Chain A
Amino acid sequence: MSVSIRRIRAIVRKELREYRRTPSIVVAMGIIPLIFLVQPLVVVFGLPASSSGQLAHAHVLLYLLGIPALTPVLIAAYAVVGERRQDTLEPVLATPVLREEFLLGKALAALVPSAAVAYTVYALCIVFVALFADPAVASALLRWPQILAQVLFTPLIAAWSIWVGMAISAKAGDIRVAQQLGMLAGIPMIALTSLTALDVIHPTLGRALGLAAVLLLLDALGWRIVSAAFDRERLITGTR
């Protein structure tokens, strides 16, 4: 049996409806990006025009790549264990849905809102900097390579976070534990983006391409790990 777009779409639509109506997810999806938005803006708005020269080597806005590293984990960590705890997993797995369809549907449903939030917050950040920061500071900060990096790395980082979250979710027996472990697992990626934003890791085109390749590899690896961790029998009976 081949993978069905209709079944994947059914999972995605169901997930998005559930997320919209789950207050804890809506609040978390709102608060985390706001925290990431406020910190760089406070720094940027406090910078005088004279600092624009130093900003040529700063990458403050790359700090916002922490959003796609962290927000999808919350959703993905809920994806499988949440269904188990609600007793909804068995009816779904008893349908003709394939493991690949189920996991892809879940992953896409986590990716779409996470990427949308990350891009929206980044767009807001650019608008605020352009409108309210000192013009010299704004022109020093808003550089095309950084904007491009943000656009390209957001889905790559989000996808990795989703696979990590879902792998944890497929193994965990409790929703909170899964989400806490997911947040912990997101820390290395946040450390990487923060160190880059602070220029401790100096971003170059070569490093960016290398990191993109590594992330692509990790995303492919994550898919395999989650597929392997997804054992219908164990998920339904809690044994094996």
Chain B
Amino acid sequence: MDYEDHGTRSPALSVHGLSKRFGDRVAFEDISFEVGIGEVFGFLGPNGAGKTTTVRTLGTLIAPTSGSAVVAGIPLTPENAARIRRRISIMPESPGLYLRLSVAENLECFADLYQVSNPRERMEGALKAVNLADRAQDVCASLSKGMRQRVALARALLGDPQILFLDEPTAGLDPVAARDVHELIDRLRRRGVTVFLTTHRLEEAERLCDHVAILNTTLRTIGRPDELRDRLFAKTLAVTTRAPLPDPGRVFAGLPAVERWHPDGGCAYRLTVTDPAVAAPAATRALVAAGADVLSISPSNHSLEDVYLRLVGADAPAGAGEEAGER
């Protein structure tokens, strides 16, 4: 990896106050974040939130209205556009293959556009990575949607990018094909490739991403998925006993790391805690000492979806990005 000027410890992607407007319509506004080298960075948001426009802007396809960014160690300016494009790859949501050409002919064209050395080996390697090595001579029009998506992924790998922008890479794929893509992203991460992943699949983001950002024209939040959960939702323990406790206040009051409690219906209780690892054993001991039959004690399990819905659910969908070709 050759990250110019900033040494190997500088981020792969650094964005400061970036905005894009189409006339008086705002696609995204004042977004700032950094993505480390070799990270998988999830970019989430509803339709029209500005995700695709952000990818296109960072990929030098469209110019930002204001703000600055450094992409793969190169400042994002019109003069640097071609140099940046040599270090990145973008896989748009629509595969955009030449359907009358074969898989190999499609890849050959892009290998030449990226001016890769030993193109034949690179094409074979890319096809092998997406499990399509035996389909090289197939005409793209004859491939299923999932296969086309994988050819587009192989095409994005040809240039050996430092940053790979994947726009909804598993949209329309069956679960097996989606799992293959996830494994490929994992392999790329291990090779030190930075992956910028826009997705609607929150479980995909939760499973793959080191950090996620939630965008709805403006950046709503950014962090590790577990950080976001902790930031938005209080940590709780769900306690279930065989019979209602005669005096639950006496059992739960004063336990270490337990801030408060409330009944959760019947034999269930919810404890708000500061540290589940401390509170759970203490609560177990207290319940046993009180003679209660404990059926379960489990920490709250808020998903990234809960975070997303909390942040975005109440918003009206943004429109500028959608009108500008945002998917």
Identify the A interface with B (CB < 8 A).
1, 4, 6-7, 9-11, 13-14, 17-18, 21-22, 86-98, 232-233, 236-240
A91 touches B105 (CB 8 A): no
Q: Is B225 an interface residue (CB 8 A)?
A: no
Q: How far is the CA of A13 from the CA of B105 in the complex (A)?
A: 10
Q: Is B85 located at the chain interface by the 8 A CB criterion?
A: yes
Would you give 27 A-B contacts (Cβ < 8 Å), ordered by A? A1-B83, A6-B115, A7-B115, A9-B112, A14-B98, A14-B109, A17-B100, A18-B98, A86-B98, A86-B99, A87-B92, A87-B96, A91-B96, A94-B59, A94-B61, A94-B92, A96-B85, A96-B114, A96-B115, A97-B113, A232-B61, A232-B62, A233-B62, A236-B56, A236-B62, A238-B324, A238-B325
6 shortest A-B CB distances, which residue pairs? A10-B112, A95-B113, A21-B100, A94-B90, A237-B324, A87-B94
Task: Decide if B293 is an interface residue (CB 8 Å cutoff).
Answer: no
Chain B residue, CB-CB nearest to A240: B22
Contact, CB under 8 Å: A91 / B100: no
* B binding-site residues for A, Cβ under 8 Å: 22-23, 53, 56, 59, 61-63, 82-83, 85-86, 89-92, 94-101, 105, 108-110, 112-115, 152, 155, 159, 323-325
Q: Report the bound CA distance from A94 to B165 in whole Å.
A: 11
Whether B61 contacts A90 by the Cβ 8 Å rule is: yes
Q: Which of B98, B100, B325 has the most CB of A within 10 A?
A: B98
Least Cβ–Cβ distance between B22 and chain A, in angstroms: 5
- With known contacts A6-B112, A18-B100, A86-B99, A95–B61 Cβ distance under 8 A: no
* Residue from A1, A87, A236, A237 whose CB has the most chain B CB atoms within 10 Å: A237
Chain B residues with CB under 8 Å of A4's CB are 115
Q: Which of B86, B155, B325 contacts A91 (CB 8 A)?
A: B155
CB-nearest residue of chain A to B321? A237
Shortest B271–chain A CB gap in Å is 51
Residues on the A chain within 8 Å of B108, using CB: 10
Instruction: Knowing that A18-B101, A87-B96, A97-B113 touch, tell me 16 more A-B residue pairs with CB under 8 angstroms.
Output: A4-B115, A7-B112, A7-B115, A86-B96, A88-B98, A90-B56, A90-B61, A91-B96, A93-B61, A94-B85, A96-B86, A232-B61, A236-B61, A237-B56, A237-B62, A238-B325
Picked from B99, B109, B155, the residue with its CB within 8 Å of the CB of A13 is B109
CA distance A21 to B101 in the complex (A): 8
Q: What B residues does A21 contact at CB under 8 A?
A: 100-101
B189 to chain A minimum Cβ distance, whole angstroms, is 21
Q: Please tell me which one of the listed residues A17, A90, A97 contacts residue B96 in the complex, with CB atoms under 8 A apart.
A: A90
On whether the beta carbons of A17 and B92 are closer than 8 Å, the reply is no
Across-interface contacts of A89 in B (CB, < 8 A) = 96
- Whether B115 lies near A239 (C-beta < 8 A) is no
Contact partners of A233 in chain B: CB under 8 A: 61-63
Q: How far is the CA of A97 from the CA of B159 in the complex (A)?
A: 12
Whole-angstrom CA separation of A98 from B86 in the bound complex = 11
Task: With CB as the reference atom, state the residue of chain A lying closest to B113.
Answer: A95
CB distance from A16 to the nearest CB of B (A): 11
CB distance from A87 to the nearest CB of B (A): 4
Contact B325 A236 (CB under 8 A): yes
User: Which B residue sits closest to A8, measured CB to CB?
Assistant: B112
- Docked complex Cα distance between A4 and B111 (Å): 13
* Residues of chain A lying within 8 A (CB to CB) of residue B90: 90-91, 94
Whether B155 lies near A98 (C-beta < 8 A) is no
In the complex, the answer to whether A10 meets B113 with C-beta atoms within 8 Å is: yes
Please state if A95 and B22 are interface contacts (CB–CB under 8 Å).
no
Contact of B113 among A17, A92, A239, A240 (CB under 8 A): A92
Q: Which residues of A contact B59 (CB under 8 A)?
A: 94
CA distance A96 to B60 in the complex (A): 10
Q: Which of B89, B98, B115 contacts A94 (CB 8 A)?
A: B89
